[in-house]
Amino acid sequence: MAALAWNPESWLAHPAVQQPDWPDQIELQAAIAELATVPPLVFAGEARRLTEALGEVAAGRAFLLQAGDCAESFTEFTADAIRDKLKVILQMAVVLTYAAGVPVVKVGRIAGQFAKPRSAPTERVGADDLPSFRGHMVNDDAPTAEARAPAPGRLLAAYHQSASTLNLLRAFTTGGFADLSQVHSWNQEFVAASAEGRRFEAIAGEIDRALRFMRACGIDLDREATLHQVEFWTSHEALVLAYEQALTRQDSLTGDWYDCSAHMLWVGERTRAPDGAHVEFLSGVHNPLGAKLGPTATPEEVVSLCERLDPLRAPGRLTLIARMGAARVTEDLPPLLRAVADAGHPVTWVCDPMHANTFVSQSGRKTRRFDDVLAEIRGFFAAHRAEGTWPGGVHVELTGEDVTECLGGAEDILEEQLELRYTTRCDPRLNARQAIDLAFRVAELLRA
Ligand code: PEP
Ligand code: CO
């Protein structure tokens, strides 16, 4: 395609897959027009600061923890759920920082993760073919034709829920809740009693001792902002382009365009075609970007994706999120690592050990085995060690709640237990215990 100048609407001239079939164009245009006037959720300066932090990851001096729901929900939207998700992410980050001694960049799949790509446009429910559920930004998950009709008003609802979620996250992370002296309180009751919980308590106790030691040495800890606040960033898949376009603003300081719906945006495995609409849109915004890479990604494809999204070879601009599957990662990842290094792109490499290890249980539930998740992370680290590149982070789906969606882990969730507390709107998530357990395993790999 001829390289016409980029603008927030230039994606319209490219093939856009996975877009909702909006029944009412007038309603859609009204929603887009309203979104184009609302305040931005994040600021350009924040996105630049995250790019800088991710540049440290790309250089091998920090580690990225990107985590949260597969799909946020309009109906399960409470302060407690947001707080508990943040607790687990903070706990994982403390484990990684303390046990491996590397700074951790914390990015949530949160405050905007409302749209889902689907492998088929329709889904068989009983005797009917219904439109697939595409995330609460688009339609409802109830199995009726009315619920599944895309409704443009949902774009506005997604914006407003993102704003409330981000407001709470900002309050929690800067208002004392994330203070290192609170580290014990992040351990939820159902976690504290477990082996992972006790292991976490031990680290929390050592952090207390270190803080007391520093205070006794005469260090004024009250003046050290980094002990009392954390930088926490938001991210989601930039899937519904009408929404992302409407929230794109020109920075008054630099004149650059930023997608102000989140700090970081990523392009999914199904929408990453280098000449497609999603890549065209993301190529022109200055936020840090991610791109998912599945087992079919070829070195040529990945290099051309890097060329489109990171032509300036800027550290922190592009994070490649490999989701190869436990069985394929050791074979499929190294050629990609080599090709990207040879092309000179200073990308951040991250492992998503969730999306290529999903299967359907006998009872019909989508699930993942904790052991497969771990095996893929091990293979990811091994591939990087062999190639001399930095295994820059992990990207996981989790919740702070005590769900039973992924199999195994220390509490050894069995197939027949999936029914107990299976509440995800989309993919199965690690529960808080499994997530903390995983953080300890990753810390061991980082130390090795
Ligand atoms: C996801 O991250 O929820 C997802 C759909 O991932 P992928 O694009 O890698 O399949
Ligand atoms: Co998912």
Query: Which tens digits make up the pLDDT trace of 293-318?
Result: 999 999 999 999 999 999 999 999 99
Max CA-CA distance within the chain? 73
Q: Under a CB-based contact definition with an 8 Å cutoff, are residues 350 and 319 in contact? A: yes
Residue 111 Cβ contacting ligand 1 at under 6 Å: no
Which runs of E-coded beta strand occur in 36-188? 63-68, 104-109, 122-125, 128-131
Closest CA to 296 of 316, 270, 265: 270
For residue 411, how far is its CA from the centre of ligand 2 (angstroms)? 23
Nearest atom of ligand 1 to the alpha carbon of 321: 9
Instruction: Note the ligand closest to the C-alpha atom of 297.
Output: 1
Q: Under a CB-based contact definition with an 8 Å cutoff, are residues 426 and 387 in contact? A: no
Instruction: Note the ligand closest to the C-alpha atom of 118.
Output: 1
For residue 119, how far is its CA from the centre of ligand 1 (angstroms)? 11
Nearest CA to ligand 1 atom 9: 269
Alpha-carbon distance of 265 to 73, in angstroms, equals 19
Residue 429 Cβ contacting ligand 1 at under 6 Å: no
Residue 295 Cβ contacting ligand 1 at under 6 Å: no
Quote the pLDDT of residue 3.
58
Quote the pLDDT of residue 2.
46
Please count the CA atoms within 13 angstroms of the CA of 442 that sit on its side-chain side: 34
Q: Across all residues in the chain, what is the average pLDDT?
A: 96
Residue 40 Cβ contacting ligand 1 at under 6 Å: no
Quote the pLDDT of residue 1.
47
Q: Which of 138, 427, 429, 430 to mutate to test the pocket of ligand 1 (most atoms within 8 A of CB)?
A: 427
Quote the pLDDT of residue 99.
85
Alpha-carbon distance of 58 to 53, in angstroms, equals 9
Residue 405 Cβ contacting ligand 1 at under 6 Å: no
Residue 278 Cβ contacting ligand 1 at under 6 Å: no
For residue 422, how far is its CA from the centre of ligand 2 (angstroms)? 15
Closest CA to 62 of 393, 395, 447, 435: 393
Q: Which of 132, 265, 271, 352 to mutate to test the pocket of ligand 1 (most atoms within 8 A of CB)?
A: 352
Q: What kind of fold does domain 10-447 have according to CATH?
A: TIM Barrel (3.20.20)
Alpha helices in 285-351 (DSSP H): 299-309, 329-342
For residue 71, how far is its CA from the centre of ligand 2 (angstroms)? 7
Degrees to nearest 5, angle at CA 266 with 17 and 44: 120
Quote the pLDDT of residue 339.
98
Q: Under a CB-based contact definition with an 8 Å cutoff, are residues 20 and 154 in contact? A: no
Residue 395 Cβ contacting ligand 1 at under 6 Å: no
- Domain ranges in the chain are 10-447
Nearest CA to ligand 1 atom 10: 269
Residue 345 Cβ contacting ligand 1 at under 6 Å: no
Query: Residue 390 contacts by C-beta under 8 Å, 6 or more apart in sequence?
Result: 57, 58, 59, 60, 349, 384
Residue 158 Cβ contacting ligand 1 at under 6 Å: no
Other C-beta atoms closer than 10 Å to the C-beta of 219 total 12
Q: Which of 116, 237, 357 to mutate to test the pocket of ligand 1 (most atoms within 8 A of CB)?
A: 237
Query: Residue 20 contacts by C-beta under 8 Å, 6 or more apart in sequence?
Result: 134, 138, 139, 150, 240
Alpha-carbon distance of 139 to 151, in angstroms, equals 6
Nearest atom of ligand 1 to the alpha carbon of 271: 8
For every one of its 448 residues, what pLDDT tens digit does the chain have, with 9 covering 90 and above? 445 799 999 999 999 999 999 999 999 999 999 999 999 999 999 999 999 999 999 999 999 999 999 999 999 999 999 999 999 999 999 999 998 899 999 999 999 999 999 999 999 988 999 999 999 999 999 999 999 999 999 999 999 999 999 999 999 999 989 999 899 999 988 898 899 999 999 999 999 999 999 999 999 999 988 899 999 999 999 999 999 999 999 999 999 999 999 999 999 999 999 999 999 999 999 999 999 999 999 999 999 999 999 999 999 999 999 999 999 999 999 999 999 999 999 999 999 999 999 999 999 999 999 999 999 999 999 999 999 999 999 999 999 999 999 999 988 999 999 999 999 989 999 999 999 999 999 999 999 8
Alpha-carbon distance of 310 to 346, in angstroms, equals 9
Q: Which of 236, 278, 323 to mutate to test the pocket of ligand 1 (most atoms within 8 A of CB)?
A: 323
Nearest CA to ligand 1 atom 1: 70
